[in-house]
Amino acid sequence: MKYTEEHEWLDEADGIVTVGITAHAAEELGDIVFVELPEVGAEVTKDDEIVVIESVKAASDILAPIDGAIVEVNTAIADEPGKVNEDPEGEAWFFKVRASDLSQLDECLDEAAYKAFIG
Amino acid sequence: MKDLRHTEFYDLHVALGAKMVPFAGWDMPVQYPMGVMKEHLHTRAAAGLFDVSHMGQVILRGPDAAQALETLVPADIVGLAEGRQRYALLTNEQGGILDDLMVANKGDHLLLVVNAANADADVQHLAQNLPEIEIETPTGRALIALQGPKAEAALAALNPAVSDMRFMDAIDLDLAGATCWVSRSGYTGEDGFEISVPGTMALRLARVLLENPEVAPIGLGARDSLRLEAGLPLHGADITPETTPLQAGLGWSVGKARREGPRAGGFPGADIILGEGQIGRTPKLAGLRPEGRAPMRAGTQLFETEGDAEPVGEITSGGFGPSVGAPIAMGYLPARLTREGTKLYGEVRGKRLAVAVSRLPFHPRSYKR
């Protein structure tokens, strides 16, 4: 598992990277009431704003952590945004992206580095 | 930056795990570990305890205090019976709303509760315009609100007399050994009480109430979503010095005795406010229900069609309504567009999303009248 400073977790298998937000991020955002997911098939570039999350408090964006094409999105969290608070690092993943350059993952944080980052 | 002020409950908030935020110069709990959504729903289902000590408490003394205050507010204060409280507005010469407040007749004085952000300005305004009235800002008193269907039972356990109070009664009662100024009122749409307690006794009262399993501490986040669902305007957002009472749907707070007869008018902006009659100026404050799931927040521009270049209005309060289970908002619109069901578009992140004018409140109020 890899992490970003934008509080995303990335789980890679066979060139497909599953992306969600960390438990720390879900906790900080508060109760999530709206999630807007990217289109399947969309080509994304690292740092594109591709997901919008709204909590009871405010709106925030999720950035594409790597370059690639969106191959699947988790429509269950668009229907029930509260799932993101319940299981952010499990069932409530956001999207899967076919990475065009897996070496971008090397720039991400490992678990120890992420833990240090959030203090 | 000036240091943030702490209420009597600051250490308790921190001990309860609250997330503290600056609010009108105070360090206040925005939420506890329960979170805004559950805190909101708990208040509607059981009872929520709110620290509202940041709000301004002002005492007006003098035999003519009621007549004097009527020179600054359009509410009927002279006709307010002892032991009763009434919603009032401080107005300006343009008929705009300087602040909204509660006024209680406590027999030998009036007790005012004003918004935290306006407290200093209000006291200055009162002092400047009512030189003959003794104005006191009681120091060292905390203010809490206990709101929700279980609020009466929780408070009656400390003093059964609270059960005899009805909506907008305001009396002194002994609670947990302290003489408290209690009113049956609030800012959530629920039945409940607002309690002014001497600072030295405040923590004890809060702890006694929190021992009741029905009572949970509730932060400012849920306070905002509760009041929005109840269709209660927020000063500085939905009502401002630029909006008149009738524009904001608060024409009911202008007393009948202030519209006609010997005490008619005589408050700032009376010609404008009374001249509005029953029709009033446009734009008007309306309830709005976004048709999708995306919340429309304050500042969202409203358009009559998907393609119009010019907005017709703007949202002044908006978010998610946990009891409604959907996004809700209030905003100003031309009167012709405020009919219930009128379809409009709100621009969110560059997209025009459908929103419909809705009746207020979004969630029924359950006051004990």
Last residue of a domain, one of B213, B229, B245: B229
Q: What is the CATH number of the domain that holds A22?
A: 2.40.50.100
Alpha carbon distance B237, A110 (integer Å): 44
To test the contact with chain B by mutation, choose from A56, A57, A62 the residue with the greatest count of B C-beta atoms within 10 A, namely A56
Contact residues on chain A for B35, CB-CB shorter than 8 A = 30-31, 56, 85
Extract the residue ranges of chain B whose pLDDT is less than 70.
1-2, 277-280
Alpha carbon distance B194, B177 (integer Å): 17
Contact at 8 Å (CB) between B152 and B191?
yes
- Closest CA in chain A for residue B293: A34
H or E element at residue A69: strand A68-73
Tokens of B121: 């300005």
Give yes or no for A39 touching B (CB within 8 A).
no
Contact residues on chain A for B38, CB-CB shorter than 8 A = 31
Tell me whether residue B187 is in a domain.
yes
- What pLDDT, in 10s, does the model give residues B132-184? 999 999 989 999 999 999 999 999 999 999 999 999 999 999 999 999 999 99
Same domain (yes/no): B316, B216? no
Last residue of a domain, one of B198, B229, B260: B229
- Closest CA in chain B for residue A35: B294
Nearest CB partner across the interface for B295, out of A30, A34, A78: A34
Whether the predicted interface score ipTM is above 0.90: no
Same domain (yes/no): B211, B343? no
Count of domains forming chain B: 2
pLDDT at B281: 76
Same domain (yes/no): B289, B162? no
Name every residue whose Cβ is closer than 8 Å to that of residue B264 and which is 6 or more positions away in sequence.
B257, B258, B270, B274
Same domain (yes/no): B212, B288? no
Tell me whether residue B242 is in a domain.
no
Tokens of B272: 């404008």
To test the contact with chain A by mutation, choose from B37, B218, B226, B324 the residue with the greatest count of A C-beta atoms within 10 A, namely B37
Using alpha carbons, select from B97, B143, B57, B61 the residue that is nearest to residue B253.
B97
Q: What is the CATH number of the domain that holds B294?
A: 2.40.30.110
Give yes or no for B18 touching A (CB within 8 A).
no
SS3 category, B260:
coil
- What pLDDT, in 10s, does the model give residues B259-312? 999 999 999 999 999 987 656 678 999 999 999 999 999 999 999 999 999 999
Count of domains forming chain A: 1
Tell me whether residue B262 is in a domain.
no
Contact at 8 Å (CB) between A96 and A14?
no
- Closest CA in chain B for residue A60: B349
Tokens of B81: 């019976």
Same domain (yes/no): B292, B200? no
> What is chain A's length?
119
Is B294 within 8 Å of A56 when comparing Cβ atoms?
no
pLDDT at A58: 85
In this structure, the number of other CB atoms found within 10 A of the CB of residue A108 comes to 20
Give residue B328's domain range. 282-369
- Closest CA in chain A for residue B40: A56
Give yes or no for B369 touching A (CB within 8 A).
no
Give the long-range contacts of residues B312-315, CB within 8 A, separation 24 or more: B312/B337, B312/B344, B313/B283, B313/B337, B313/B344, B315/B288, B315/B346
Q: What is the CATH number of the domain that holds B163?
A: 3.30.1360.120
Give yes or no for A28 touching B (CB within 8 A).
no
Same domain (yes/no): B181, B327? no
- Closest CA in chain A for residue B292: A34
Alpha carbon distance A11, B331 (integer Å): 43
How far B277 CA lies from chain A's nearest CA (Å)? 38
Last residue of a domain, one of B196, B229, B262: B229
Between strands A32-36 and A49-55, the pairing is antiparallel
Give residue A66's domain range. 2-118
- What pLDDT, in 10s, does the model give residues A47-77? 999 999 999 988 899 999 999 999 999 999 9
